[in-house]
């Protein structure tokens, strides 16, 4: 076997230190090459990071504030983003070097590689020191300057009651539309919702458009501007106006509008309010729907509301056989409540001339399926009514009935203060810059100076609407009451007694309220209405937020 010698490796001396090395383009050894070429050139050896002590967040370039724990991967990524020139080398390793927590210094060790000559790669380890600078993030700065909101949604409805906003509050709770609000403030004709982002305000306006008939208008206010970066800071305001027509209102449609709506009779009842208005002619069961956009082209007001309803006694009902959904057309004979009892019609006699209070009135009604002789019904008494409306004044006299019945009443059961087995939740926020939003009351009815008795009455009417209207009840969430004491969940109990005006949105009363109501109970035994609307247990939800551990275990 023939032996072949390995080729000889030619070596040269290093130009600086004279050490034999493999020839390269610089004729320098690795040590001398590292001394003559610095691959860390262009990378700063000192830098700074911004830290907000209020919210414990670091500023991540370009303008994102991020929560990062000491010596965490998130904080290391923020430190590396602060370095310029790091993209020109290859980063092999990076880690923190321990420093005193209160030194306001961060030390990071980096290992980088870079090709300096042909087929010559240098590796170097060096250290960077970061100075932690304390400051305020924009959110904390706005909070300290009492400037917490960036977008405002003003919801208004010019009606003398709060039933619409009570219902709107329940819709907002059910769909979780209030989760992005900073605070909620009640004003004279509505509510103000404050948001930290413009997108959240636009989302709220879109939600309101889907549940109630509204029109909206947007405006903006310039707070500051930077001419160098061409940036500006704005505050945005969205004005939302709800149609001033509510459920069970009496409406006189303009003649031109009534003809465009399938030629319906101008004098109608508002049977339902969703994202559009629904009108019903009780004399013919004709039903029409009016979109919000059509209403604002021809706006009109209600002639009368639920506060103007008068109680009647049904003497006779003769269904005609014509039906539409749950409504049945019928001819009814009614009289004012108490007209044929001893003492006459009481307060009604003072308002009527002659014997008008004891007259038997004939009318057509859509309540033929639920009214029976002897029942009580609420309706509008139009015999001597006088409305400031051109549309109503233009109606022929024979087209205006004496009475328009709206719904059945339950006077016997209401007098006994029957407890409700359900209650409602309310929007509660902590007190903030833009108004008192204490958690002890709902968002509606907290504005100072308002008549508490009127607020209680509006809330009770709203609760009765929920009981009597299954479709309306299905749109909100009802929760089981903790107890079955009188007044629980009624909205009229507040503080320590059952008397009105002591509170607004309390859900429970103590034992003293039960004794007080029992002592003033009527001595005459009155039979309960058999069809009194009851909310079934399967319609109620458990309020898990307020359940105790013992209740959960039980």
- 462 compared with 62, residue with greater pLDDT: 462
Write out the two tokens for 211: 């549940």
Which H or E run contains 267?
Answer: strand 267-273
Q: Which of 13-22, 75-84, 168-177 has the lowest mean pLDDT?
A: 13-22
Examine the pLDDT at 539 and tell me if it is beyond 90.
Answer: no
Q: How far is it, in rounded angstroms, from Cα 284 to Cα 327?
A: 11
Which pLDDT belongs to residue 359? 83
Examine the pLDDT at 295 and tell me if it is beyond 70.
Answer: yes
Mean pLDDT of 329-353: 68
Which pairing describes strands 105-117 and 181-187: parallel, antiparallel, or unpaired?
unpaired
- 122 compared with 48, residue with greater pLDDT: 48
Q: How far is it, in rounded angstroms, from Cα 432 to Cα 71?
A: 36
Examine the pLDDT at 403 and tell me if it is beyond 90.
Answer: yes
Give the helix ranges, DSSP H, for 339-422: 347-351, 390-393, 411-415
| Helices and strands: H and E segment counts in the chain | 14, 26
- C-beta of residue 83 within 8 angstroms of C-beta of residue 166: no
Which pLDDT belongs to residue 517? 35
Which pLDDT belongs to residue 324? 87
The owner of tokens 């880690």 is: 95
Q: How confident is the model at residue 501 (pLDDT cuts 50, 70, 90)?
A: very low
Return the SS3 of 522.
Answer: coil
Q: Which string of b and e fits 318-333 if b means at least 16 CB within 10 Å? A: eeeeeeeeebbbbebb
Instruction: State the CB neighbour count (10 A cutoff) for residue 435.
Output: 17
Q: How far is it, in rounded angstroms, from Cα 487 to Cα 524?
A: 22
Longest dimension (CA), the chain: 146
- For residue range 430-451, what is the model confidence (pLDDT) as tens digits? 334 444 433 345 677 766 546 6
Examine the pLDDT at 490 and tell me if it is beyond 60.
Answer: no
Q: Which of 56-60, 95-99, 120-124, 330-334 has the lowest mean pLDDT?
A: 120-124
Examine the pLDDT at 101 and tell me if it is beyond 60.
Answer: yes
CA-closest candidate to residue 277, choices 267, 287, 290 = 290
C-alpha 8 chain-centroid distance:
86
Mean pLDDT of 25-47: 80
Sign of CA dihedral 202, 204, 207, 209: negative
Express as a percent the part of the chain with pLDDT over 70: 78
Mean pLDDT of 252-265: 93
List 116's β-bridge partners, or say none.
none
Mean pLDDT of 512-533: 50
Q: How far is it, in rounded angstroms, from Cα 14 to Cα 25?
A: 11
List 64's β-bridge partners, or say none.
60
Write out the two tokens for 462: 């709203």
Examine the pLDDT at 111 and tell me if it is beyond 60.
Answer: yes
Examine the pLDDT at 344 and tell me if it is beyond 60.
Answer: no
Examine the pLDDT at 332 and tell me if it is beyond 90.
Answer: yes
Which pLDDT belongs to residue 450? 62
Q: How confident is the model at residue 88 (pLDDT cuts 50, 70, 90)?
A: confident
Which pairing describes strands 267-273 and 250-252: parallel, antiparallel, or unpaired?
antiparallel
The owner of tokens 């902590």 is: 430
Q: How far is it, in rounded angstroms, from Cα 184 to Cα 437?
A: 6
Mean pLDDT of 35-55: 85
Query: What Cα–Cα distance (Å) separates residue 457 from each residue in 103, 170, 504, 517?
Result: 63, 18, 10, 18
Q: How confident is the model at residue 532 (pLDDT cuts 50, 70, 90)?
A: confident
Q: How confident is the model at residue 231 (pLDDT cuts 50, 70, 90)?
A: confident
- For residue range 127-159, what is the model confidence (pLDDT) as tens digits? 999 999 998 888 787 777 666 788 999 999 999
Which pLDDT belongs to residue 343? 54
- C-beta of residue 239 within 8 angstroms of C-beta of residue 217: yes
Q: How confident is the model at residue 357 (pLDDT cuts 50, 70, 90)?
A: low
The burial of 309, by beta-carbon neighbours within 10 Å (0-12 exposed, 13-18 middle, 19 or more buried), is given as buried
Which H or E run contains 332?
Answer: strand 327-336
Mean pLDDT of 503-519: 34
Q: How far is it, in rounded angstroms, from Cα 406 to Cα 468?
A: 12
Q: Which of 192-201, 362-371, 500-509 has the lowest mean pLDDT?
A: 500-509
Instruction: State the CB neighbour count (10 A cutoff) for residue 48.
Output: 14
Return the SS3 of 48.
Answer: strand
Examine the pLDDT at 308 and tell me if it is beyond 70.
Answer: yes
- C-beta of residue 348 within 8 angstroms of C-beta of residue 419: no
To the nearest whole number, what is the mean pLDDT of the chain?
79
The owner of tokens 């019928």 is: 330
The burial of 342, by beta-carbon neighbours within 10 Å (0-12 exposed, 13-18 middle, 19 or more buried), is given as exposed
Return the SS3 of 3.
Answer: coil
Mean pLDDT of 529-551: 65
């Amino acid at each position: 076997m023939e032996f072949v010698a390995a080729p000889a490796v030619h070596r040269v001396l290093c130009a600086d230190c004279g050490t034999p090395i493999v020839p390269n383009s610089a004729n320098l050894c690795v040590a001398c090459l590292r001394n003559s070429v610095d691959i860390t050139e262009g990378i700063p050896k000192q830098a700074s990071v911004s830290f907000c002590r209020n919210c414990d967040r670091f500023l991540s370039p370009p303008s994102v504030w991020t929560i990062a724990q000491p010596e965490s991967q998130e904080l290391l990524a923020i430190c590396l983003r602060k370095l310029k020139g790091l993209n020109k080398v290859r980063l092999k390793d990076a880690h923190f070097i321990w420093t005193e927590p209160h030194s306001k210094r961060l030390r990071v060790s980096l290992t980088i590689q870079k090709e300096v000559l042909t087929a010559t790669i240098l590796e170097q380890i060096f250290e960077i020191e970061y100075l932690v600078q304390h400051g305020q993030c924009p959110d904390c700065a706005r909070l300290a300057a009492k400037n917490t909101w960036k977008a405002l949604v003003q919801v208004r409805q010019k009606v003398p009651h709060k039933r619409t906003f009570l219902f709107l509050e329940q819709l907002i709770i059910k769909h979780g539309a209030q989760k992005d609000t900073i605070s909620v403030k009640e004003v004279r004709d509505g509510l103000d919702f404050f948001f930290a982002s413009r997108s959240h305000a636009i989302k709220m306006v879109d939600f309101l458009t889907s549940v109630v008939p509204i029109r909206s208008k947007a405006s903006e206010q310039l707070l500051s501007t930077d001419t160098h970066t061409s940036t500006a800071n704005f505050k945005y305001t969205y004005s939302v106006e709800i149609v001033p027509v509510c459920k069970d209102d009496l409406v006189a449609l303009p003649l031109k509008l009534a003809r465009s709506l399938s030629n319906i009779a101008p004098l109608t009842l508002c049977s339902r309010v969703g994202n559009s208005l629904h009108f019903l002619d009780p004399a013919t069961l004709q039903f029409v729907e009016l979109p919000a956009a059509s209403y604002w082209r021809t706006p009109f007001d209600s002639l009368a509301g639920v506060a103007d309803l008068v109680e009647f006694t049904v003497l006779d009902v003769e269904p005609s056989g014509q039906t539409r959904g749950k409504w049945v057309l019928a001819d009814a004979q009614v009289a004012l409540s108490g007209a044929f009892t001893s003492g006459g019609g009481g307060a009604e006699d003072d308002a009527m001339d002659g014997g008008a209070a004891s007259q038997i009135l004939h009318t057509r009604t859509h309540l033929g399926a639920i009214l029976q002789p002897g029942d009580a019904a609420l309706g509008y008494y139009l015999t001597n009514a006088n409305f400031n409306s051109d549309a109503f004044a233009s109606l022929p006299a024979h087209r205006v009935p004496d009475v328009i019945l709206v719904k059945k009443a339950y006077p016997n059961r209401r007098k006994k203060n029957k407890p409700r087995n359900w209650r409602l939740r309310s929007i509660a926020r902590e007190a903030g810059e833009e108004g008192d939003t204490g958690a002890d009351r709902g968002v509606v009815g907290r504005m100072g100076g308002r008549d508490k008795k009127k607020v209680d009455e509006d809330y009770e009417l709203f609760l009765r609407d929920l009981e009597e209207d299954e479709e309306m009840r299905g749109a909100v969430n009802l929760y089981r009451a903790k107890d079955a004491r009188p007044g629980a969940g009624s909205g009229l109990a507040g503080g320590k007694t059952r008397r009105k005006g002591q509170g607004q949105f309390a859900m429970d009363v103590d034992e003293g309220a039960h004794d007080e109501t029992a002592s003033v109970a009527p001595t005459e035994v009155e039979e309960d209405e058999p069809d009194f609307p009851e909310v079934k247990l399967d319609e109620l939800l458990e309020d898990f937020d307020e359940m105790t551990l013992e209740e959960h275990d039980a």
